[in-house]
Structure 1
Amino acid sequence: MERRQHERTSRSIRVEMLHPSIGTIVGFTTDISDGGAQVMLENQAIPPVGTELQVLFRKVVGPINAEPVTMKVVHQFRNTIGLSFAV
């Protein structure tokens, strides 16, 4: 049974996730929707479920969002985390 509220789009976008105690984590989206994103990390510490991060989405030439958005880690599996936009 599908529980997602938003349609996903497969897209690879560079993601910079900032946290005061963890530092900066870099990854790439595997898909993104109006509700959040699935992000693949490479050889980095994975923040625990429930962690709130300040997130910047970047394209080759510059940022997609000028100001970081708050997102929450809602799941993790191996080197992939699911982020939802905080409300």
Structure 2
Amino acid sequence: MPVDDRRIHCRTAMSAKVKVTHERLGEFLFCTRDISDGGVFIVVENEPFVPEMGDRVSVQVQGLPIPAPVLDMVVVRKTIDGYGLQFDESVN
């Protein structure tokens, strides 16, 4: 890992469809790029999804045989192609 990489959890590449709901911006469908014990990275291409760091969102994996749980997450990182979301341990 690079010296400035502060991640404490190993990431695993995983592509899944997730529904992300933001109180102000609305509901979106995105694909994940990776997941870890601490959170997930969502790929945002041409959607009008521009949250602020620290915003809370609800995330639910789509396409499973039964409805997945809805998890509360926090926006913690922005890159050129998406956002890093961290599990909100204060709620889940």
Question: Identity rate of aligned residues, in percent?
Answer: 33
- CA positional deviation for 1:42: 2.3
**Counterparts of 1:7-46 in structure 2 under 5 Å?**
7-44=10-47, 45-46=49-50
Report the counterpart of residue 74 of structure 2 in structure 1: 72
Matched pairs, number: 85
Partner residue of 2:55 out of 37, 51, 57:
51
Q: CA RMSD in A?
A: 1.6
Structure 2 distance, partners of 1:59, 1:4, is 29
1:83 equivalenced with 2:90 (yes/no): no
Q: Which blocks of at least 5 consecutive residues in structure 1 are unaligned?
A: none
TM-score (norm 2): 0.80
Return structure 1 stretches of 4+ with deviation > 6 angstroms: none
Residue identity opposite 2:53 in structure 1: V
Aligned equivalents of 2:66 and 2:76: distance in 1?
27
- In the superposition, the TM-score normalised over structure 1's length comes to 0.84
Higher share in strand:
1
Which structure 2 residue ranges, 5 or more long, are not aligned? none
